[in-house]
Amino acid sequence: MEDDAPVIYGLEFQARALTAQTAETDAIRFLVGTQSLKFDNQIHIIDFDDENNIINKNVLLHQAGEIWHIGTSPADKAVLTTCYNKTSDNRVVSCAAVWRMPSDWEAGSHESPDDSANNPQTLELLCHLDDSTHGNTACVLWEPMGDGKHVISLADNHAILWDLQESSTQATVSSTASLEGKGQLKFTSGKWCPHHNCSQLATANDTAIRGWDLRTMSQIYCIENAHGQLVRDLDFNPNRQYYLASCGDDCKVKFWDIRNVQEPVKTLEEGWVVQWLLSLNQWS
């Protein structure tokens, strides 16, 4: 790979939402969601052929609105969630929904990769993850080792645990947790911990990182001023159960031992850092 030319994939619209398709075991696949105010938005399904160093793609329509976050089911590669903006009563509302890809998108129904972009199919809506009492949804997190029946949505200052039916066509609220304090506190990002039987969650709000026990929906640790500016993203080490990484607008990546959160284990200053969790998925 060192001698191979870089592989570049261009989008017609801007995009800020990217995720790996975790349930896909036979291909290296990523999903990208676009943001357009004038046109129907899209989900780009990107397959990387590492043997030939090429990219294959398919495109699906996401007509609900511009996509700010995207997640995939750990159990069913055809199911995904998006957080998106829509206009309601002359104001912008952030919503979330569960979708299913068309059954034939991967079956070679398109004559060429370019044809899927010219005549894209549409995602099938399974259910909404909206609760007007909880506010605007920032992201949806799938239980990492689960059967695709549990997700957490972060909406304003609420963390909401949802139970999905096996067909994912209905979602019910199982339990909730709330940020408490002065001012208008809001969750900005989060990560479901793959360790401890998936019973823990880490969240970011402003410059703070908090840990939650999902069995009691109570806070178990807090890293105040984890970064000098907004915390952008979080990720757990998949191989070492107590280690968490974070990045922020202060251009730093920090590594934490959640058993002792007084100081980071290590700090990196690597310039502007945004969504790096995919590249650090196997950090040890």
What pLDDT sits at residue 274? Answer: 46
Q: Contact, 233 vs 275, CB < 8 A?
A: yes
Say which range, 53-67, 103-117, 123-137, 198-212, has the weakest mean pLDDT: 103-117
- In the chain, where are the structural domains located? 1-109+118-178, 180-283
Say which range, 67-81, 168-182, 220-234, has the weakest mean pLDDT: 168-182
What pLDDT sits at residue 278? Answer: 41
Residue 258 bridge partners (DSSP): none
Residue 108 — very low, low, confident or very high, per pLDDT cuts 50/70/90?
A: very low
pLDDT higher than threshold 60 for residue 115: no
Residue 84 — very low, low, confident or very high, per pLDDT cuts 50/70/90?
A: very high
Residue 158 — very low, low, confident or very high, per pLDDT cuts 50/70/90?
A: very high
What pLDDT sits at residue 183? Answer: 78
Percent of the chain past pLDDT 70, that is, above it, reads 88
Phi, psi torsion values for 68, nearest 5 degrees: -110, -20
Strand 121-122, strand 54-62: pairing: parallel
**More confident of the two residues 88 and 207:** 207
**More confident of the two residues 200 and 270:** 200
What pLDDT sits at residue 2? Answer: 55
What pLDDT sits at residue 21? Answer: 93
What DSSP string describes 62-106? ETT-EEEEEEE-SS-TTEEEEEEEEEETTEEEEEEEEEE--TTTT
pLDDT higher than threshold 70 for residue 277: no
Q: What is the CATH number of domain 180-283?
A: 2.40.128
Q: Distance (Å, rounded) from C-alpha 148 to C-alpha 80?
A: 10
CA distances from 60 to 31, 37, 124, 175 (A): 10, 17, 10, 33
Residue 1 — very low, low, confident or very high, per pLDDT cuts 50/70/90?
A: very low
Q: What is the pLDDT of residues 182-232, one digit of tens each?
A: 878 999 999 999 999 999 999 999 999 999 999 999 999 999 999 999 999
What pLDDT sits at residue 106? Answer: 66
Phi, psi torsion values for 40, nearest 5 degrees: -60, 135
pLDDT higher than threshold 80 for residue 131: no
Q: What is the CATH number of domain 1-109+118-178?
A: 2.130.10.10
**pTM of structure:** 0.87
- What integer best gives the mean pLDDT of the chain? 87
